Amino acid sequence: MLTFLLAAAISYTLSDTSVLQPPKAPAMAVWTSQPAIREAVEFTAKDGSHIRGWLYRAKQIDGSDTVAAHPFVLFFYGSNEDLVHEEARLAWLRDSLHVNAVCFDFPGYGFSTGRVKVKGIRDIALEEYDFIRDHLAAEGSDSAGSLPAIVTYGWSIGTGLAVHVASQRPVAGMILQAPPASSEEMAAWPSKHDVPRFARGVVKVTVDADVQPIYENVKEIATIPSPLLVVQGTEDDVVPIAQGREVFAASPAKQKRFVEVPGAHHSDLRVGHPPAGDAVAVFLQQIADGLPSGVQAR
């Protein structure tokens, strides 16, 4: 049997469908539910996909709604998640850190339509930034036409989107939680989430050429001077912490910080609690206190 498996699967390729694994889609009614807490936002992507998300609008200390002067945090989740999985994190960002938290479902995930493809989610991530800049952040532009700061925040595979957007658009900062370093290193460390049990440790794992870009954080971050915060658990069993340190080292940012969370694995890191939560709070407060966004209203 082992001989047959080795002959049939001498190499296992991480494809779009093995890397991107959308959970069961929630009922569409959930998307527009609880309008007093969050706003349903939507745009049509260039490929015709309907991209749907939530905006948790920043509030003044007195509770009044506002956008002006509060940073926008564009969040990208992990492979096996969707908006519903991240509603607690988005609410924490808004309620505790006083930012405008925005997240969209990937095409083919949750409330969004479209094909589940790495290239598609990378292209549409740029369109998400543009939608925030042109439609949401524009409400908070000042008399000089400057918009509120936009920060990208990704975790796991979503870090590849956060970095990609920052490489193509001006951002005030990046927050990366458990970022892979490269496709080569991820292939050398096949996780239980991506590779069938029979293949782990038995066959050579490769990454499809169309999938590789989402893992190439070391290469892509090397040209991004934006302030950086990397957060990772010391016991991460999906993306080893050594990879996160490589990404951190490759960043040319003058303001950057690496925060390790003792004992935390890949999926049990509680970002709303110290030390991760404190680090995110400090980072975003520094953004809010005047780090230039570099974004101009159109």
Angle, in degrees to the nearest 10, between helices 158-168 and 118-131: 50
Distances (CA, A) of 207 to 138, 199, 214, 215, 241: 39, 14, 11, 10, 20
The three-state secondary structure class of 230 is strand
For the chain, the domains span 12-288
259 DSSP β-pair partners: 231
Report pLDDT for 294.
45
Q: State the distance between the two ends of the chain, measured CA to CA, in whole angstroms.
A: 62
Give CA–CA dist 24/30, Å, rounded: 13
Of 227, 232, 228, 226, nearest in space to 276 by CA = 232
The token pair that represents 185 in the structure block: 């290193």
Q: Please report, as a single letter, which amino acid is at residue 34.
A: Q
Report pLDDT for 137.
83
**Ordered per-residue pLDDT tens for the chain, 298 residues:** 455 455 445 777 889 998 999 999 999 999 999 999 999 999 999 999 999 999 999 976 555 444 446 899 999 999 999 999 999 999 999 999 989 999 999 999 999 999 999 999 999 999 999 999 999 887 755 545 567 899 999 999 999 999 999 999 999 999 999 999 999 999 887 555 555 555 555 667 889 999 999 999 999 999 999 999 999 999 999 999 999 999 999 999 999 999 999 999 999 998 889 999 999 999 999 988 874 444 443 3
Choose the CATH number for 12-288 among 3.40.50.300, 3.40.50.150, 3.40.50.1370, 3.40.50.1820. Answer: 3.40.50.1820
